[in-house]
A and B are shown apart, each in its own frame.
Chain A
């Protein structure tokens, strides 16, 4: 179990590793490798609150499935050997194919310090521009929209704006599930000041359910809605003409384009599939409310037109001057804990470093700062292109850190295949069995990295707030910090001096110094005030919001002064393209497949999947489908259905709901090959990139759906993970006391019974078998200890597992529970142990009739027949009589 044991200590202030809200967490190690988790009341992101995922962090700390030792091609090796293999491999690829045959794929899970060192090694020392990150899939369209509008990747507002807004518009954001703590702030604001909530989403999510106005628009038509809004604002005199004149440019062009897209309320309604009344209500709310925050997430970003969607939103805020003001502004809610940190260090292919890009003076400045021998001079390939380049053989070495692209990338099946072409595939990973850690290149190096609770550094949340993630657990096995691994490779490549960091504080100082280097207010991102921070200050530093220049004040909001980071200091209106899905539906693919998250899981479940609490909410991969689409297919709730796109297939459990529009499907992307047989939703998605941001479209892939029939369905609960045979459909979830599989199979109940006997030889099997009806249940005991439990039935009568899960949480279930495991029926009050065998009368029945007045053996017999046949139980009844009567009298 948990091997990283140390003495119990006081609570450590750290930051949650999940979404971009960046909540403060108090972790109190228990000395056994676990920790008590509580919200940090002093943290300005959450003030002590935590969502379901954050609260369950303590359940995710076990070392099960952890990668603890370096491996080369599946064999455990020393760090020395592994690092040598990586350095040698990189050098060889660089020599043979040039440094740009090397690529890095980083993660919003990395700490800023790790990110910084990786970016520096690649872009300044190896000399490859091909550094991208899973943040590309997350918010790169928001970055691009920010840069087009503001000249910088700047989130103008802060969380307090959510407290102070009178109208919050949520676009493509299931905030209630994906940023729950921010949603609580919104709901609180509604209670406190009557803030109205408008939710714009093709799917009526939990967030939509909570909205004052829900706009369930057609997929991909957000731009039409906000174009219509801009036209409406202009037509009704709601535009702040002075602000537009003084601080912006491009208004007329943008308005003209907007008018071409959605000239009226009616045209907007037509384009979006909304009612005119709803559109008009939204427009009136927006134009009539000064304090309006438009918060947007992946529904906007993960689109082939994501950047335009972002700008269509920003256009409306610029037009009304509602930006940088308390309670007003466009607000990108980032998905990951440190997507913002990645953006700060420049860990994306279209950035160089520290919010600097590829202007010659910027390249030169960074080169000088780093003393970089091999500074790059232009953009590298973004995620989708980067993986395509691997397929084409252009990239020969790939180093993946802290992410699982084989699950999360679009067309993930092709990516898995293409990795085989790599001369060198390096994975820095905390999880041993992630799909990406199990993938293979020609040479595969796995490097054990520290996980949350072990690593130490900083993250930046959606409101530009830098918080410390602090270590409160010892490094397990041979795991090391990502930055140290990178620095060690750098040393072996001859760059020891530039990577001779004493620790994360030193890295952070350098990072802060670079942000301030020759800045003088020319760049939004400036941590100059922190560039001389001593180690001790760094260790104890509270959450801080940037910009934090050496001179001057920190700011919670930017652009209040109307000054932007464009050359003329004016913000830009962007004339956006008419909305259209990148791929049309039709033929075999008549539906639009949308993807997203569930409430209690994070990304590919490598962490949340360890918690039984978090695994209970949605325990099987599912597809939401509208009743109108399901009915003609004969698809019923809970049936399995094959979702097919030209890129892949998945088999998911149907959830029939009018929360999705007719013609739409929704599937969550969390399940991987490690957690389900056929549910890698990433493999279904085409992922056509946005032409500006390179962010792939993950929410609108043409797809077909058809029922899949399996002979039998059921579940298997085991203490340790068990694999099921090829050809079975299954999904795994952590349960209390073990691992649960829900499955479907073409095997007969007889065959499954045989399989169970084979799997659990040497144990005692308790069984229920009605093979004629294809029903089978089995509980496996080692002595009195329940070690496994299976139930199976025809698909139309498939067993449910809630009861069994509850019993399985006990190591040694009571007789009633043992029986219920076989019957699949809830435990019922039994008749008690049999007293009268002839008539099968139980103790409780007999004591009952005595209590009810049967005062003799004969009377008992008359009342319940006990003792009236062979009479062998009469002595027992005789003994019971005075006992019960005495009890009654008492």
Chain B
């Protein structure tokens, strides 16, 4: 009899894992996937495009139900798992399903954080995490609505741009003095801010939300400096935390996330975790690239190949509503390091390299991120950039072969 593999969660990490697993060893496991959302895995990265009306829901889809079927995967959607019974090797989905497993993969992602401030539960205060959120936001984003997005991270920016694109008067609040402060330095963040403003979003930095107020639903937002901002809709995008409740209740070892080793194995040898809920070597990743690397590793491991996930070099490559942004490694020069910089704010161009003794320590690019793969390699390997410094900064000519990203 085939081993029973249950995957909890049907997000991007889960799907990539399933794809790789079935490519490598079709039919090796008896696979059941349980997802809390009513749909099969979709491209969460496109939620902002969906919000802005650039793509429709179909455009966000990855694999149709037929794919799961033809690959012998039992897919259960709209079914939040309520308990993992390790002792009996069961996954319990409320009153509807009891799924025995030999191996279990937790790919349960993360949960949006709600600020511990008054009024966060008022109707009209929404998060931005899944298709349901997008639908709720779109419903609230009626003509003349005033929207406030709290949180100047990537997702907040995307939400704000999506709202602005719908024609909603949109204000983005960020508590720090610059947007995306973990990925960007001041100048790059300034460019991103400018790009946001060009797309119709009002950006307020150092804006600390004190409370959301309203009679029965959102009417205004109050900042800690007393400023009152009228609002019909507030979107919270102040971060996520790994979804560890199931694992904790099951007695798995957790810290910020579910602790896993280099094979993505939790403290229980039968149970694995990957994606945003997993904590590997102290790191919890909130991006798709590490999740895919983890899915790759785990799929190999589960078909019996030697595989180890060694962590993903911290880098961010993304498009903030069409503006490419890349950040890897250090974003400010530490003591003894040098900065090489190219910036044309009017062109939306910013490129910064952090260099010490001809080694690349970090890079921040906005507008043109063509050398990102190369930069990631150089940061990871520590190879000398002495002969490439100008090419890294200015870009190789288009005719020259681009080094492949790792």
Contact = CB atoms under 8 A, between A and B. Distances in A.
A766 to B, nearest CB: 3
Interface stretch (B112-120, B214-222, B392-400): B392-400
Given A834-B370, A840-B370, A842-B370, A872 B342 contact: no
B347 A828 contact: no
Contacts of A873: 319
Given A865-B404, A871-B45, A875-B46, A766 B371 contact: no
Decide if the interface of chain A is mainly helix, strand, loop or mixed. mixed
Given A819-B347, A872-B49, A767 B342 contact: yes
Contacts of A869: 288-289, 292, 317
Given A834-B370, A839-B317, A872-B43, 5 more contacts: A766-B344, A767-B343, A828-B395, A838-B317, A840-B324
Assign chain B's interface to a size class.
Answer: 35 or more
Given A772-B355, A870-B289, A871-B43, A819 B344 contact: yes
A822 interface: yes
A773 B355 CA distance: 12
B46 A872 contact: yes
Interface in B313-345: 317-319, 324-326, 338-345
B399 A829 contact: yes
B398 A829 contact: yes
Interface in B263-300: 288-289, 292
Closest 6 CB pairs of A and B: A766-B344, A772-B338, A823-B394, A872-B45, A768-B342, A834-B324
Interface of B: 43, 45-46, 49, 54-55, 59, 62, 288-289, 292, 317-319, 324-326, 338-347, 349, 355, 368-373, 389, 393-395, 397-399, 402, 404-405
Assign chain A's interface to a size class.
Answer: 35 or more
Given A770-B393, A828-B398, A840-B317, A818 B346 contact: yes
Contact of A819 (B49, B349, B355, B397): B349
Nearest to B348: A815
A766 B346 contact: yes
A779 interface: yes
A771 interface: yes
A768 B341 contact: yes
Given A825-B394, A828-B398, A839 B405 contact: yes
26 contacts: A767-B341, A768-B393, A773-B389, A815-B347, A818-B344, A819-B344, A819-B349, A823-B394, A828-B395, A828-B398, A834-B319, A834-B370, A837-B317, A839-B372, A840-B370, A840-B371, A840-B372, A842-B370, A844-B398, A870-B288, A871-B43, A871-B46, A871-B62, A872-B319, A875-B55, A878-B59
Interface of A: 764, 766-773, 779, 781, 784, 815, 818-819, 822-823, 825, 828-831, 834, 837-840, 842, 844, 865, 869-875, 878
Contacts of B393: 768, 770, 823
A772 B45 contact: no
Contacts of B341: 767-770
Contacts of A770: 338, 340-341, 389, 393
A779 B342 CA distance: 11
Contacts of A771: 338-339
A584 to B, nearest CB: 51
Contact of B369 (A768, A837, A870, A874): A837
A769 B343 CA distance: 9
A818 B343 CA distance: 11
A118 to B, nearest CB: 56
A875 B49 contact: yes
Contacts of A781: 346
Given A840-B372, A875-B54, A769 B340 contact: yes
A47 B338 CA distance: 64
Nearest to B370: A840
Nearest to B319: A837
Given A828-B397, A869-B292, A834 B369 contact: yes
Nearest to A769: B341
A828 B399 CA distance: 9
Contact of B344 (A779, A829, A830, A834): A779
A561 B10 CA distance: 115
A837 B347 contact: no
Nearest to B375: A840
